Amino acid sequence: MESINSKLKSLIEEIEKLPSIGPKTAERIALYLLSLEEQEIKKFLDTLTDARANLHLCPICFNITDKEICEICSDESRDRSSICVVEEVNDLLAIEKTGSYKGVYHVLHGDIDPINHKGPDQIKLKELLDRIKNSHIKEVILATNPDFSGDMTATYIAKLINSIKMDIRITRIAVGLPKEAEIGLADTLTLSMAIKERKEYK
Amino acid sequence: MESINSKLKSLIEEIEKLPSIGPKTAERIALYLLSLEEQEIKKFLDTLTDARANLHLCPICFNITDKEICEICSDESRDRSSICVVEEVNDLLAIEKTGSYKGVYHVLHGDIDPINHKGPDQIKLKELLDRIKNSHIKEVILATNPDFSGDMTATYIAKLINSIKMDIRITRIAVGLPKEAEIGLADTLTLSMAIKERKEYK
């Protein structure tokens, strides 16, 4: 006889499908959702339903928005000659939080990863090239993840841009030790990259 | 001008209220929930609604169930003379997963924690004492967390049980090194407890 109730088990299983959620956390979240007052769960569900009904992708940069054009693309103070290319919307959100970038974005919604059968046609790459062709872009910052598929995606995009437009600055986000890192505790790959990518002391 | 969409922000904020969820994970979960197909989100919401509508607390042990009496209390093969007292339902689930306990439970739904103004009346303590008074219990295992408030709760309950019924075995779950732990890496408090609570080698 199963000692865990089947309805509770189903709920835990649904929650385990969420990203970054292990079985223990799923259990805690399930019990929490069951314990919420009616008005609290209503607020949660209403917010979710409202967000799903009204949010869509910006037709220019593919950020998430409920406006016709997203907040960043329609902000006149942003530098539209600089496009920062990221894999996912949360990468954009992370860069926005730094406050150190004032250009616009292009969200690929994925990367090129032949091992997992993800080709250039499955990401918003054609749309990026169209933007570059049809507007005055000075710089494209390739901010895909510094991992195997992200590096490959960046290299692939850089080559494509070069082949259609030569007078454009193409850059790649820096890889190195995280700030405040202890060298003795850094992972070998990051440390070897930090040495390889060392800069002149000025 | 805020660069993050307000509806997305509201959704992230709702998700951040869930236990064990930091801001980054909340962001990932929000984007994931937005990306789900209609039938996937429907399944998620239906499971949640069904669970909330049908699950309640077992009137005997306060485990979560959709039956009149929970799966464990109604299982004739369980030893009803042994009650394992836990703080929360997820503690019960964790102990069930070990498969090493064949008695029944009592879920307190909290602990006694004067610092946070949580007194004995806010947990299912009276109900536990009634069970002990009115049925033939041989052992009560106090499996509240081995932390300040959990220890205090266990001590408090042990004294109360002793005051109403003397012929009952009251035990406390063991504290010590986790299995496979490295002594050199163990935290000081656990290690000192492991030494203090050492047992005769047999």
pLDDT score of A140 more than 70: yes
Give the CATH number of domain B64-172. 3.40.1360.10
Using the beta-carbon criterion (under 8 Å), do A1 and B50 form an inter-chain contact? no
Instruction: Measure the CA–CA gap between B178 and A116, rounded to whole angstroms.
Output: 39
Average pLDDT of chain B to the nearest whole number: 91
Using the beta-carbon criterion (under 8 Å), do B14 and A48 form an inter-chain contact? yes
Domains B6-54 and B64-172 belong to one CATH topology? no
pLDDT score of B51 more than 90: yes
Using the beta-carbon criterion (under 8 Å), do B77 and A1 form an inter-chain contact? yes
Determine the topology of domain A80-172 in CATH.
Dna Topoisomerase Vi A Subunit; Chain: A, domain 2 (3.40.1360)
Which chain A residues are closer than 8 Å to B103 by Cβ?
A: none
pLDDT score of A200 more than 80: no
Predicted confidence at residue B202, as pLDDT, reads: 67
Using the beta-carbon criterion (under 8 Å), do B32 and A52 form an inter-chain contact? no
Q: A56 forms bridges with which residues in the sheet?
A: A65
Which chain A residues are closer than 8 Å to B70 by Cβ?
A: 5
Domain boundaries, chain B: 6-54, 64-172
Over residues A89-111, the pLDDT tens digits come to: 999 998 988 888 999 999 999 99
Predicted confidence at residue A110, as pLDDT, reads: 94
What is the arithmetic mean of pLDDT over A143-152?
92
Instruction: Measure the CA–CA gap between A138 and B15, rounded to whole angstroms.
Output: 38
Predicted confidence at residue A100, as pLDDT, reads: 87
Mean pLDDT is highest, among A30-39, B3-12, B166-175, for: A30-39
pLDDT score of B83 more than 80: yes
Spatial neighbors of B195 by CB under 8 A, at least 6 apart, are none
Over residues A21-61, the pLDDT tens digits come to: 999 999 999 999 999 999 999 999 999 999 999 999 999 99
Residue A82 C-alpha, separation from nearest chain B C-alpha, in angstroms: 16
Instruction: Measure the CA–CA gap between A115 and A117, rounded to whole angstroms.
Output: 6
Which chain A residues are closer than 8 Å to B44 by Cβ?
A: 14, 17
Query: What's the pLDDT band for A2 if we cut at 50, 70, 90?
Result: low
Main-chain dihedrals φ then ψ at residue A85, nearest 5 degrees: -95, 120
Spatial neighbors of A27 by CB under 8 A, at least 6 apart, are A12, B90, B93
Predicted confidence at residue A98, as pLDDT, reads: 85
Instruction: Quote the tokens at residue B166.
Output: 């003397």
Higher pLDDT, B45 or B191: B45
Contact status, residue B87 vs residue B108, Cβ threshold 8 Å: yes
Query: What's the pLDDT band for A158 if we cut at 50, 70, 90?
Result: very high
Q: How many CB atoms lie within 10 A of CB B1?
A: 9
ipTM score for this prediction: 0.80
Contact status, residue B194 vs residue B177, Cβ threshold 8 Å: yes
Instruction: Measure the CA–CA gap between B36 and A19, rounded to whole angstroms.
Output: 12
Over residues B92-129, the pLDDT tens digits come to: 998 988 888 999 999 999 999 988 889 999 999 999 99
Average pLDDT of chain A to the nearest whole number: 91
Report the residue of chain B nearest A76, measured CA to CA: B1
Residue B170 C-alpha, separation from nearest chain A C-alpha, in angstroms: 24
Residues recorded for chain B: 202
Instruction: Quote the tokens at residue B70.
Output: 């929970």
Of A19, A25, A75, the CB nearest to B1: A75
Instruction: Measure the CA–CA gap between B30 and A32, rounded to whole angstroms.
Output: 18
Using the beta-carbon criterion (under 8 Å), do A71 and B3 form an inter-chain contact? yes
How many residue pairs from chains A and B have C-beta atoms closer than 8 A? 137
Q: How many CB atoms lie within 10 A of CB B201?
A: 4
Which chain B residues are closer than 8 Å to A67 by Cβ?
A: 5
Among the listed ranges B33-42, B49-58, B92-101, B150-159, which one has the minimum average pLDDT value? B92-101
Closest CA to B128 of B107, B147, B144: B107
Predicted confidence at residue A165, as pLDDT, reads: 78
Of 1.10.1670.40, 1.10.8.420, 3.40.190.290, 3.90.420.10, the CATH number of B6-54 is: 1.10.8.420
Q: What is the separation of C-alpha A132 from the centre of its chain, rounded to a whole number of angstroms?
A: 20
Closest CA to A157 of A125, A122, A115, A118: A125
Instruction: Judge whether B28 is closer than 8 Å to chain A, CB to CB.
Output: yes
pLDDT score of B64 more than 70: yes
Instruction: Judge whether B18 is closer than 8 Å to chain A, CB to CB.
Output: yes
Query: What's the pLDDT band for A189 if we cut at 50, 70, 90?
Result: confident
Main-chain dihedrals φ then ψ at residue A115, nearest 5 degrees: -60, -40
Instruction: Judge whether A137 is closer than 8 Å to chain B, CB to CB.
Output: no
Question: Amino acid identity of A191?
Answer: L
Instruction: Judge whether A21 is closer than 8 Å to chain B, CB to CB.
Output: yes
Query: What's the pLDDT band for B88 if we cut at 50, 70, 90?
Result: very high
Residue B49 C-alpha, separation from nearest chain A C-alpha, in angstroms: 9
Map chain A to HEC letters. Answer: CCCCCHHHHHHHHHHHCCCCCCHHHHHHHHHHHHHCCHHHHHHHHHHHHHHHHHCEECCCCCCEECCCCCCCCCCCCCEEEEEEEECCHHHHHHHHHHCCCCEEEEECCCCCEHHHCECHHHCCHHHHHHHHHHCCCCEEEECCCCCHHHHHHHHHHHHHHHHHCCCCEEEECCCCCCCCCCHHHCCHHHHHHHHHCCCCCC
What region does A75 belong to: left with phi over 0, alpha with psi -120 to 50, or beta? beta
Over residues B139-149, the pLDDT tens digits come to: 999 999 989 99
Predicted confidence at residue B182, as pLDDT, reads: 81
What region does B180 belong to: left with phi over 0, alpha with psi -120 to 50, or beta? left
What is the arithmetic mean of pLDDT over B62-72?
96
Which chain B residues are closer than 8 Å to A64 by Cβ?
A: 5, 8, 31, 34
Instruction: Measure the CA–CA gap between A161 and A154, rounded to whole angstroms.
Output: 11
Using the beta-carbon criterion (under 8 Å), do B50 and A7 form an inter-chain contact? yes
Mean pLDDT is highest, among A14-18, A179-183, B112-116, B166-170, for: A14-18
